[in-house]
Chain A
Amino acid sequence: MLQIDRWKRILIVGLALLGLALAAPNLFYQRVEQHNDAVATIEKTGVETPELIAQRDGWPSWLPSGLVNLGLDLRGGAHLLGEVRVAEVYKSRMDSLWPEIRNALAAERQTIGSIRRLPAEDGVLKLEIGNADQMQRAVEIVRGFSDPITTLTGAGQQSLSILADGSTITVQLSDAEKEATDQRTVLQSLEIIRRRVDEVGTREPTIMQQGKDRILIQVPGIGSAEELKELIGTTAKLTFHSVIGVGSDPNARAQVGQIIVPDLEQEGLFYTLEESPVVTGDELVDAMPATDQNGQPAVDFRFNPSGARKFGDYTAANVGQPFAIVLDNEVVSAPNIRQAIRGGSGQISGAMDYDEANRLAVLLRAGALPAQMDFLEERTIGPELGQDSIDAGRLSAIVATVAVVAYMIASYGLFGVFASVSVIINVILILAVMSVLGATMTLPGIAGIVLTVGTAVDANVIIFERIREELRAGKKVVRAIGDGFSEAMSAIIDANVTTFIAAAVMFFMGSGPVKGFAVTMTIGLVTSVFTAIFLTRLMIVWWIERRKPQELVL
């Protein structure tokens, strides 16, 4: 037990020194962070301004530069948990299917009879045909729009579920297709949110899917959750519709295939529009803030070739008629078409200031969200509160360490010094592992480290108490120490496994701070076993080799 091979000694000391080196950058947090940011910016943009170079050179690049990630509660920022309204997509799928089915059925009007869309709940397309006895043929035609889909659970499923009853046909997405659509919707939303947040240029946002239809967004350094919500809470769905009429009654009866949309600025003004748009924002290639002819803020946009052609054809055919630019179900403007617009570019103007124009341009460039989001959880943490928490955490960690060290030395003398060195190196190792993994430190995580300072000595306490007993039993010093270590092993392992079970449960149940705590605790468990068993033992072995003690007071 007390013979340690040379290579093992080198390994143990090497690991401790490596930990020291990897944890060191955290002492110069701000400088290293600036260095890392500057390196990233230079790599991304390729431009080296003197300022960036100065920041980069603030920390030598041959030194380790991994840092412990500070969580939102320490750095300040905003946290949002959004739920995507995935069912919205079912509705738009059905609404865009309707004209196609109508045309296909209309082609066989002789046999099937007249076709009518009946009102139904969102996401369901209900049709009525004139000749109920020709139902079989009608269903056959509708079925032509359904595609076979392959899922993990098996092939042979259809994308549409079609039900015929008397003279009505009910069409909706099949369950398998709904599931596939949901996943696509969420992934699309994730991608668009990421693009929007990136455009605003905040540092290292966390954007990830949670559960089936939720998205977690954490942006450090942003002022408030409100700001973040404005950026990602708007769908930014831009569409161009033909105008059928203008009125002041929001409850006017719209015919099937028509929608009533309020005006963005003027209250009490409502437009009746053709529901299916001429062109949508999906066909935009670019959008940028600009000014209109009156010098007011506006947004210029450009269509891709197919969008430009559709828009051009439409305007050519409808000269003199009004058309509406609709953004998120509000009419931004409804100008008359003076002449065919062939160039494929246009302008949105209206009551907006420069910030709003800028944001609209960002949203249009990033693309529209496929569905709206509801926010279930919002948190804003001010940067001052975060700094206060860091300071408080640091102070209490230092006080805790001093208190524990003093108590250990008072209790065990020289061996207490060994255990104390181990505990301090343990804290350094935790920071080192977290820096390497890029793990996030939260306020409860700091509490976890402080707690580890208290519990990490436990393994050494078990060993030392055991050595005391062996000494009392009359064993020689070296023998007692050796036996103390080996007899204590099973208790140490058992004790750590049970704590690990608790930490694992926290990791799997947890979000944010809970996870942060679990991660710190788990890392602390592993490192404390290393320091308490290997490092302390190595120090004791050195002491025995140098002093060759004949007696030991413990």
Chain B
Amino acid sequence: MAFRLKLVPDNTKINFFRVQWLTFGLSALAMVVSVVLIMTMGLNFGIDFKGGTTIRTESSTAFEVGEYRNAINALDLGDVSITEVFDPTFGEDRHVAMIRIGTTNETGSVSQEQLNQVEAALQQVDPQVRFAAVDSVGPKVSSELIKTALYAVGAATLGIMAYIWLRFEWQFAIGAVVSLIHDILLTIGLFALLQLRFDLLTIVALLTTLGYSVNDTVVVFDRLRENLIKYKSMPLIDVMNLTVNETLSRTIMTAVTTALALTAMLIFGGDVIRDFIIAMLWGVIVGCYSTIYVAKNIVLWLGVKRDWSKNGPKKDPSPFSNAEMP
């Protein structure tokens, strides 16, 4: 027999509901902790949402953050933060800093003269310094971007809910949405905990993991519906356990391939989008967990109609499959 790597053995019979109170409690706790973290530590908003200017400097010689700070503080620009960026892909002679300056006026952010002053001041301290990227976002745009971002996350959630409701039953839609909210909260919570930069790309990552997580959930639901038709008299909880066990191998398999791809990007993709990748990777892990432990539990508690075969609105479970009706 040929070798096969199987992270999940054949014919698993794990009782996923044995520890349901524990896992549900854990999820609820994690959500509460996330909210508390977001409230107390706050989010490290990027300029997309807060307005302001960031300057990315690159230098071939090592520099002291303190020296940069002194040079810029002399200009009296108000709220300035400087962080050195480290990355395993940087060579010996690559030293990168991110300088962030708060908003100083109403329309743009930092004026061109101020920007030139900053560049001149830094060049005095470090003649090798180059300005690899400069971004400025005015407060007018940033407040609009926050609104768009919130709308986007809301619209995506509603859209997905509507689709699942159409294709399955309302209980499934609720289950999926609760698990989506779980994923979103936990991801934002991680960003608060690690103080990662929260900007437009983070929203993109959120939407992507939203899509990924629901993708996972839908595959399980699809099988659940099939099993509900097949085993009409089996208790709901057993049908669910059977379903998760049947799809477990696929869930893990896809989570691993996705995580492999993202990890490659995390290590080799450079520092510019690292926070973005962290958000997606975390979203994949959380999404995988919430499929098994959150979405299904909700459906179990809400109950679901058992008689799918007679005169129901879903006569044919799927127009795409030619499933044999028992």
In contact, B321 and A487 (Cβ under 8 angstroms): yes
Complex Cα distance, B255 from A457, in Å, reads 11
Q: Which of chain B's residues 121-167 have a Cβ closer than 8 Å to chain A?
A: 130-138, 140-141, 148-149, 151-152, 155-156, 159-160, 163-164, 167
**Interface check A411, CB cutoff 8 A:** yes
Q: A396-B269, A493-B320 are in contact. Are A407 and B5 (CB under 8 A)?
A: yes
Interface of B, helix, strand, loop or mixed by DSSP: helix
Smallest beta-carbon distance A82→chain B, Å: 10
Number of A-B contacts (CB under 8 A): 251
In contact, B254 and A501 (Cβ under 8 angstroms): no
24 pairs from A and B in contact (CB 8 Å cutoff): A225-B134, A229-B112, A376-B140, A382-B133, A385-B133, A407-B260, A413-B4, A451-B258, A454-B261, A458-B258, A468-B249, A469-B246, A486-B321, A486-B322, A490-B318, A494-B222, A496-B215, A498-B211, A499-B215, A502-B160, A506-B204, A510-B204, A514-B200, A517-B204
Identify the 5 closest CB pairs spanning chains A and B, nearest first.
A454-B261, A502-B211, A490-B318, A392-B270, A454-B258
**Interface check A393, CB cutoff 8 A:** yes
In contact, B155 and A505 (Cβ under 8 angstroms): yes
**Interface check A472, CB cutoff 8 A:** yes
Pick from A411, A450, A469, A496: contact of B265, CB below 8 A. A450
Residues of A within 8 A of B221 (CB): 494
Residues in A lying within 8 Å of B, measured CB to CB: 73, 81, 83, 224-226, 229, 374-382, 384-385, 388-389, 392-393, 395-397, 399-400, 403-404, 407-408, 410-413, 443-444, 446-448, 450-451, 453-455, 457-458, 461-462, 465, 468-469, 472, 486-487, 489-491, 493-506, 509-510, 513-514, 517-518, 521, 553-554
In contact, A505 and B152 (Cβ under 8 angstroms): yes
Q: Which of chain B's residues 85-104 have a Cβ closer than 8 Å to chain A?
A: 89
In contact, B134 and A393 (Cβ under 8 angstroms): no
Residues of B within 8 A of A493 (CB): 318, 320
Residues in B lying within 8 Å of A, measured CB to CB: 1-6, 10-11, 56, 58, 89, 107-108, 112, 115-116, 130-138, 140-141, 148-149, 151-152, 155-156, 159-160, 163-164, 167, 200-201, 203-204, 207-208, 210-212, 214-216, 218-219, 221-223, 226, 246-247, 249-250, 253-254, 256-265, 267-270, 272-273, 276-277, 280, 317-318, 320-323
Residues of A within 8 A of B280 (CB): 447, 451
In contact, B223 and A378 (Cβ under 8 angstroms): no
In contact, B134 and A408 (Cβ under 8 angstroms): no
Q: A396-B267, A499-B215 are in contact. Are A490 and B257 (CB under 8 A)?
A: no
Residues of B within 8 A of A226 (CB): 112, 115-116
Q: A385-B56, A465-B253 are in contact. Are A400 and B264 (CB under 8 A)?
A: yes
In contact, B141 and A447 (Cβ under 8 angstroms): no
Interface of A, helix, strand, loop or mixed by DSSP: helix
In contact, A509 and B149 (Cβ under 8 angstroms): yes
- Counting chain A CB atoms within 10 Å of each CB, which of B10, B56, B207 scores highest? B207
In contact, A444 and B269 (Cβ under 8 angstroms): no
In contact, B261 and A453 (Cβ under 8 angstroms): yes
Smallest beta-carbon distance A167→chain B, Å: 39
Residues of B within 8 A of A468 (CB): 10, 249
In contact, A411 and B107 (Cβ under 8 angstroms): no
Residues of B within 8 A of A453 (CB): 257, 261
Complex Cα distance, B204 from A498, in Å, reads 15
Pick from B131, B136, B249: contact of A382, CB below 8 A. B131
